[in-house]
Amino acid sequence: MTVSLTARPAWAALQAHYAKARDWHLRQLFTTDPGRGDRFTAEAAGIFLDYSKNRITDETFGLLLQLATECGLKDRIDAMFRGDRINVTENRSVLHTALRAPRGASIVVDGKNVVPEVHEVLDRMGSFADRIRSGAWTGHTGKPVKNVVNIGIGGSDLGPVMAYEALRYYSARGLTFRFVSNVDGTDFVEATRDLDAAETLFIVSSKTFTTLETMTNARTARDWLLASLTDDKAVAKHFVAVSTNAAEVTKFGIDTGNMFGFWDWVGGRYSMDSAIGLSTMIAVGPAGFGEMLAGFHEMDEHFRTAPFEKNLPVILGLLAVWYADFFGSQSVAVLPYDQYLKRFPAYLQQLTMESNGKRVTLGGQEVDYATGPVYWGEPGTNGQHSFYQLIHQGTNLIPCDFIGFTQTLNPVEPHHDLLMANVFAQAEALAFGKTADEVKAEGVAAALVPHKTFPGNRPSNTLLLDRLTPTTLGKLIALYEHSVFTQGAIWDIDSFDQWGVELGKVLAQRIVPELQGATEPALKHDTSTNALIRRYRAARRSG
């Protein structure tokens, strides 16, 4: 029987420790320990992490490391990399790390080494991507592909969109990339309104190939294509599929020769480096995609082998636990200071919240501690002109992750120094604030002093990387994947299932016929839902 988290000695010690820690101020922590700015740092795989502006001392850090040890984090990491079925509620292995294992590595699942299959798919993706990029693959009328539209949702969309935006600098500029996810017809219509069907390739990305949104969009895409190309044979030249479900792909009319597979041990939100990344590979080329996978792998190896006190994902994960469970922080802001990372917070929302938004342990017991916080954010400096106000002076404690690069990809003077000056200034201001005395000394009228006082003591991490490349992107994503894993291991939850998402997939299906039937069916919902359905039906018929 697993010991409950709150019964662990390190947990009790952390609780006692928190009774002191809650009154510390970062100002005082830096005054009494000026060396912490150098000491509370770690560097691996080209990522420098400064975690000194957190409300911790060496003792806190030691206790958090002890908690990780007591929770068996090392064994859990080994179990994941080995391919044990650690996704217990779906009885599946969790092997996204195999997707970036180098050719020649061996990871055995159910008696079979999966690495050769991974590379076989990567090779097929590579030759397909090359044909699209070179113009060798032609559409039904003989024209080369100019537009690539990925149709998918959730894990089959957010990774591809984020990676395309992040790596736009490296992408084939002669190709246009669009992403359709929402079942709202507007998404499809706006994404395709200026495209020529004869030059458009649709990638239907769906692990199950049964998801309502994706299949609806895929059927609409087929109708849209055939409306101008008027020959069913065109489908084979303009549609490819990424899926684990060959039977449904065939049923849709896509030749399985144009299907790229993956495996049930790849979770949706961990799949952007599988065939789900086909659009990314077409954008940056097979070599660029390979560099991204190498970046992922480097961080995997760091996570698997580095001692916890130097292990970046472990440190980030433990700090998240410290704030969520002891300070009661309910959210974490992720603030990338790079315009190319504009979709990174949205991607992280799914990764973190779908993984750790759980309320029972692996053994099915309801937890009596907080689990996954809300992750959110926007690129800097834009966020500074909107929600940072609340982080600086509001009543919530919101730990922040600042992400910056020393080199810019677009060296237009003086932008980059200004951008990075903001990263450092914000982290500094959040930590140290501005006292009432400092405000008074500026000659501010007494009535305004409380308004212009900044309490500070708002914790943050700063992640500094050299340059945004496919490799650094891979490292950054793997860093967060493994931080999420660390948090889930401490909380003793299944970070790899998503029953809430599955529920959403069936709920709407029940109501669809109630909206569409010519005569109103007997509605058996609650009175509120029944009334909303009736109002919608009436308005739809009269509008």
> Residue 187 or 354: which CB sits closer to ligand G6Q?
354
Q: Which of 144, 155, 290, 373 binds ligand G6Q (CB under 6 A)?
A: 155
Q: Give the DSSP per-residue string, 399-437.
A: -EEEEEESS-SS--TTHHHHHHHHHHHHHHHHHH-B-HH
Where on the phi/psi map is residue 253: left (φ > 0), alpha (ψ -120 to 50), or beta?
Answer: left
Chosen residue from 139, 144, 154, 474 binding ligand G6Q by CB under 6 A: 154
Say if residues 267 and 99 touch (Cβ distance below 8 Å). no
- Extract the tokens encoding 37: 């700015």
Q: Please identify which of the residues 74, 143, 342, 505 carries the catalytic annotation.
A: 505
- CB of 157 or CB of 300, closer to ligand G6Q: 157
In this structure, which amino acid lies at residue 505? K
Which sign does the torsion angle of CA 66, 68, 71, 77 carry? Answer: negative
Say how far apart CA 309 and CA 98 lie, in whole Å.
Answer: 25
- Residue of this chain nearest to ligand G6Q (CB atom): 154
Q: Is 505 part of the annotated catalytic residue set?
A: yes
Segment lying near ligand G6Q (by CB under 6 A), choices 152-160, 359-367, 414-422, 470-478: 152-160
The answer to whether the bond into 381 is cis (omega within 30° of 0) is yes
Please name the residue that has the structure tokens 């992107």: 473
In terms of DSSP bridges, do strands 47-50 and 41-44 run parallel, antiparallel, or are they unpaired?
antiparallel
**Catalytic, out of 165, 298, 354, 481:** 354
Any idea what DSSP says for residue 52?
A: T
Question: Per CB under 6 A, which region of 114-122, 125-133, 264-272, 482-490 contacts ligand G6Q?
Answer: 264-272
Q: Which of 211, 457, 469, 471 binds ligand G6Q (CB under 6 A)?
A: 211
SS (H, E, C) 73-107: HHHHHHHHHHCCCCECCCCECCCHHHHHCCCCCCC
Identity of residue 82: R
Active site residue 354: yes
If one asks whether residue 291 binds ligand G6Q (CB under 6 A), the answer comes out as: no
How many residues bind ligand G6Q (CB under 6 A)? The answer is 15
Tell me the C-alpha distance between 49 and 58, whole Å.
16
Identify which of residues 156 and 279 has a Cβ nearer to ligand G6Q in the complex. Answer: 156
Q: Which distant-in-sequence residues (6+ apart) come within 8 Å of 314 by Cβ? A: 68, 73, 303, 306, 308, 482, 483, 486
Which member of 87, 156, 274, 486 binds ligand G6Q (CB under 6 A)? 156
The stretches of 206-277 forming alpha helices (DSSP H) are: 212-229, 234-238, 246-252
Residue holding tokens 């922080």? 329
CB of 491 to ligand G6Q, least distance (A): 18
Q: Which stretch binds ligand G6Q (CB under 6 A): 55-63, 200-208, 247-255, 507-515?
A: 200-208
Alpha carbon distances (Å) from 131 to 124, 126, 138, 234: 11, 9, 9, 17
Identify whether the C-beta of residue 13 lies closer than 8 Å to the C-beta of residue 5.
no
In whole angstroms, how close is the CB of 513 to ligand G6Q at the nearest point? Answer: 22
Under the binding rule (CB under 6 A), the answer on residue 206 touching ligand G6Q is yes
| Shortest distance in whole angstroms from residue 73 CB to ligand G6Q | 22
Alpha-carbon distances, residue 79 vs 33, 264, 274, 313, 400 (angstroms): 39, 17, 21, 17, 30
By CB under 6 A, tell whether 267 contacts ligand G6Q.
Answer: yes
Shortest distance in whole angstroms from residue 249 CB to ligand G6Q: 12
In the complex, what is the shortest distance from the CB of residue 218 to ligand G6Q, in angstroms, rounded to a whole number? 10
Contact (Cβ atoms closer than 8 angstroms) between residue 73 and residue 495:
no
The answer to whether residue 268 forms part of the interface with ligand G6Q (CB under 6 A) is yes
Q: Given the residues 20, 251, 385, 525, select the one marked as catalytic.
A: 385
CA distance 384 to 387: 6
**CB closer to ligand G6Q out of 118 and 275:** 275
Q: Can residue 207 be called a binding residue for ligand G6Q (CB under 6 A)? A: yes
In the set 214, 279, 371, 462, which binds ligand G6Q (CB under 6 A)?
214
Quick check: 153 binds ligand G6Q (CB under 6 A)? yes
269 binds ligand G6Q (CB under 6 A): yes
Quick one: 57 or 97, whose CB is closer to ligand G6Q?
97
Report whether 261 contacts 244 (CB < 8 A). Answer: yes
Q: Which is nearer to ligand G6Q, 76 or 269 (CB)?
A: 269
Contacting ligand G6Q within 316-355 (CB under 6 A): 354
Site membership for ligand G6Q, residue 498 (CB under 6 A): yes
Contact 409, 472 (CB under 8 A): no
CA distance 233 to 244: 24
Q: How far is the CB of 268 from ligand G6Q (least distance, A)?
A: 2
Among 42, 501, 511, 523, binds ligand G6Q (CB under 6 A): 501
152 versus 456: smaller Cβ distance to ligand G6Q: 152
Residue 19 CA from chain centroid, whole number: 33
Q: For ligand G6Q, which is the closer residue by CB, 62 or 357?
A: 357
Q: Which of these ranges, 261-269, 311-319, 438-446, 462-470, lies near ligand G6Q under the rule CB under 6 A? A: 261-269
Q: Which two tokens stand for residue 341?
A: 């990372």
Terminal Cα-to-Cα distance of the chain (whole angstroms): 60
Task: Determine if 208 is a binding residue for ligand G6Q (CB under 6 A).
Answer: yes
CB of 159 to ligand G6Q, least distance (A): 9
Kindly tell me which of 298 and 354 has the beta carbon lying closer to ligand G6Q: 354
- Scanning 169-177, 201-209, 286-294, 338-346 for contacts with ligand G6Q by CB under 6 A, the matching segment is 201-209
Smallest gap from residue 481 Cβ to ligand G6Q (A) = 12
> Considering only 17-25, 203-211, 310-318, 458-466, which stretch makes contact with ligand G6Q by CB under 6 A?
203-211
User: Does the active-site annotation cover 385?
Assistant: yes
CA-to-CA dists, residue 345 to 21, 187, 223, angstroms: 29, 21, 34
Q: Which residue numbers are catalytic?
A: 354, 385, 505
| Contacting residues toward ligand G6Q, per CB under 6 A | 153-156, 206-208, 211, 214, 267-269, 354, 498, 501
